[in-house]
Amino acid sequence: MSESPDVLIVGGGLIGLAIAWRASGHGLRVTVIDPHPGRGASWAAAGMLAPVSEAHHGEEALIRLNMAAAEAYPDFVDELEAETEVPVGYRRCGTLMVGFDADDVRALHDVAALQGSLGLAVERLSGRACRELEPMLTPSVSGGIHVPGDHQVDNRRLVHALTVAVERRATLLRQRVTGLVVTGDRAEGVTLDDGRSLHAPTVVLAAGCWSRDLPGLPARVRPPVRPVKGQVLRLRIPIEPALFGGTIRWLVEGSPGYVVPRADGELVLGATSEERGFDTEVTADGVFQLLRGAHQVIPGISEATLTECRAGLRPGSPDNAPMLGRTAMEGLVMATGHHRNGVLLTPITARAIAALLATGEVDPVVAPFATDRFAAPAAPA
Ligand SMILES: Cc1cc2nc3c(=O)[nH]c(=O)nc-3n(C[C@H](O)[C@H](O)[C@H](O)COP(=O)(O)OP(=O)(O)OC[C@H]3O[C@@H](n4cnc5c(N)ncnc54)[C@H](O)[C@@H]3O)c2cc1C
């Protein structure tokens, strides 16, 4: 470990690891601290890179950030794979969103209208056209939208590649941070499980949904992140014949779901969205809902082997967007609250935060996501 790191990063999920990798590329000495790197939300996730199919009314600034993130992906992946020789399963496979009944299709067309008004590429399809694209779909599918630009990455391979890169260029410490060291009004380091303290001019808080609870964090800089539980299943099918073209998302009587097919035959089937604090139990009801939705849209999925049931915790924020940049406390930078798009937002977060650490400059693309946007306005004097 570097005796005098320039930056300490609390949390080695995709966000902390990618910031470390990029910051070390700027010549900074970085230490990432995490007892279980990459095993939080970043491990549970499905890996959809979905700025268009995840577009929601009222989230226009986030949609712009998500689009910029998707554009940054190919170069990020090329560079990481070249450096580590770890393939990360980036597939430009597009996404098909289908509706089961007429109401579901109307809801999808409503989303398509928003997407179209923002200049995003989408194409409305009949039920028959959906089945021509994805023959595994039931004939009962009423219609859908094709989103050619929403791709996927294998988030677990991405965790592996970033871990390899960080272990080569920086320090990855498998310890839990037990507190923030604050002197006066300045963050100066952290304390660890083993009783040691580490010091650095800058501490980056990238602990996902746990970011709010770091001991020693003063209330005025505590990020309003919360855990949003997502139950998700992994299944396996033969690679030959290729049964899926790309990601399929659906609405069945208003309930959403998706299946993300990997090149190696894995299917990721997700996901619930539940406000249950830090609970990560997998429930019979959660598994039932996921399998029922999938079976209604893709009946043949019942033939697949079920290999994993898991629940992860998305780092939710009040406006579903991340908190990125300096905080009101000197020496403390934040990169958290990526909610349902953290895999997508990994490259752009890493680029912006690493540049901030190296140069002090705020990348305009992340300026709307300042960490103080939820702070209560100061009382009049
Ligand atoms: C079911 C599910 C499906 C998802 N699907 C997608 C998707 O398809 N596309 C997409 O873009 N996003 C998706 N997401 C969201 C995405 O996974 C998250 O936004 C992203 O992984 C957040 O990354 P992170 O590094 O901030 O958090 P995490 O990956 O949770 O990492 C936080 C890390 O902080 C560490 N930590 C916590 N406390 C401490 C401490 N005291 N000391 C040291 N370390 C600490 C933890 O060990 C953990 O490794 C999904 C999430 C879930 C749960």
- For each of the chain's 381 residues, which pLDDT tens digit applies? 546 899 999 999 999 999 999 999 999 999 999 999 999 999 999 999 999 998 888 898 999 999 999 999 999 999 999 999 999 999 999 999 999 999 999 999 988 998 888 888 899 999 999 999 999 999 999 999 999 999 999 999 999 999 999 999 999 999 999 999 999 999 999 999 999 999 999 999 999 999 999 999 999 999 999 999 999 999 999 888 789 999 999 999 999 999 999 999 999 999 999 999 999 999 999 999 999 999 999 999 999 999 999 999 999 999 999 999 999 999 999 999 999 999 999 999 999 999 999 999 999 999 999 999 998 766 666
**Residues with a CB atom less than 6 Å from ligand 1:** 10-16, 33-37, 39-42, 44-48, 176-177, 206-208, 210, 214, 230, 232, 270-271, 312, 314-315, 336, 338-344
The answer to whether domain 95-148+226-316 has CATH 3.30.70.1400 is: no
Give ranges for CATH 3.30.9.10 in the chain.
Answer: 95-148+226-316
Closest protein CA for atom 2 of ligand 1: 45
Choose one of 8, 9, 14, 178 to mutate for the ligand 1 pocket test, by most ligand atoms within 8 angstroms of C-beta.
14
Q: Alpha-carbon distance 38 to 290, whole Å? A: 24
In the CATH scheme, what is the code of domain 7-43+157-225+319-369?
Answer: 3.50.50.60
**47 Cα–ligand 1 center, Å:** 12
Strand spans (E) along 60-185: 95-99, 123-126, 143-147, 151-152, 171-173, 177-183
Burial class (CB in 10 A: 0-12, 13-18, 19+), 158: buried
Q: How many residues does the chain have?
A: 381
Nearest CA to 72 among 363, 373, 367? 363
What type of residue sits at position 282?
V
**120 Cα–ligand 1 center, Å:** 27
**Neighbouring residues of 48: CB distance < 8 A, sequence distance ≥ 6:** 54, 95, 150, 152, 247, 258, 260, 343, 344
**238 Cα–ligand 1 center, Å:** 29
Place of tokens 């070249």: 82
Give ranges for CATH 3.50.50.60 in the chain.
Answer: 7-43+157-225+319-369
Q: Which CB contacts under 8 angstroms, 24+ apart, belong to 301-305?
A: 301/136, 301/235, 301/259, 301/267, 301/269, 303/237, 304/235, 304/236, 304/237, 304/267, 305/235, 305/236, 305/237
**151 Cα–ligand 1 center, Å:** 19
Give, as one character, the DSSP assignment of residue 71.
H
Q: How do beta strands 30-33 and 171-173 pair?
A: parallel
**180 Cα–ligand 1 center, Å:** 20
Q: Alpha-carbon distance 342 to 353, whole Å? A: 14
